[in-house]
Amino acid sequence: MIKHKQIDTTFYQQDVLIVAPQLLGKIICLKADGTERYFFITETEAYRGEEDLACHCSKGRTPRTEAMYHNGGIFYVYLIYGMYYMLNIVTGSKNEPQALLIRGIKEFDKKTKKIIYDYNGPGKAGKILGVNQYLYGMSVFNNNNFRIYDVNYFETENRIETAPRVGINYAGMWKNKPWRFILI
DNA sequence: TGAGTGATCGTA
DNA sequence: ACGATCACTCAC
């Protein structure tokens, strides 16, 4: 099944509003402790530019937001509420700060193709994927433990819903943008 | 509904 | 140095 290529860096250098919905259904292979676990992405959220008041970059370029100002294809990771590492993928091109948050994944068995567990919510998804600060700025494409394949394990056509983003009520008009993408 | 938890950044 | 804030989760 996994004879497919990984998604390469140029894909992530497109606009986040293109990349975020297209990642739905894509397969993540996680290598850890000599085993491989398989997931597919069920929910993403787009954060787009300094003008987007929900995006961390609306506060400008700081040590934390630095990664988002780079070319797409690297991880942007941060700790929230002292407990949860949020896994984001930087998109777009240099000095065009964007990222997408991975809000949900489902683990499946490679052989039986049955779904094992639903990690709904970015804290839970980050935890099961072993997300840590060490991932900050690392390439999504060139790393040993984490791969995203250019294949949808499940048919995603006509199965994508949009919704406003979660937890950003402070963002004025931006809070209503339908930049949350859900695989149904 | 509210407690838990610690990095981050602006203000001093 | 200090304190407010926070792209969340779980138990009640």
- pLDDT, residue A22, reads 97
Q: Averaged over A161-178, what is the pLDDT?
A: 97
pLDDT digits (tens, 9 = 90+) for A87-106: 999 999 999 999 999 999 99
Q: How far is CA A71 from CA A96, A99, A131, in A?
A: 8, 10, 21
Residue burial A54-86, b: 16+ Cβ < 10 Å; e: rest:
bbbbbeeeeeebebbbbbbbbbbbbeeeeebbb
Contact flag, residue A65 CB and nucleic strand B, below 7 A: yes
Contact flag, residue A62 CB and nucleic strand B, below 7 A: yes
A57, closest nucleotide (Cα–C1'): C7
Using CA atoms of A73, A128, A143, A39 in order, give the dihedral in degrees to the nearest 10.
-70
A81, closest nucleotide (Cα–C1'): B5
* A158, pLDDT greater than 80: no
Q: Could you tell me the pTM of the whole model?
A: 0.96
pLDDT digits (tens, 9 = 90+) for A58-85: 999 999 999 999 999 999 999 999 999 9
Neighbours of A102 (CB within 10 A): 26
Tell me which nucleotides of strand C come within 7 A of a protein CB: 5-10
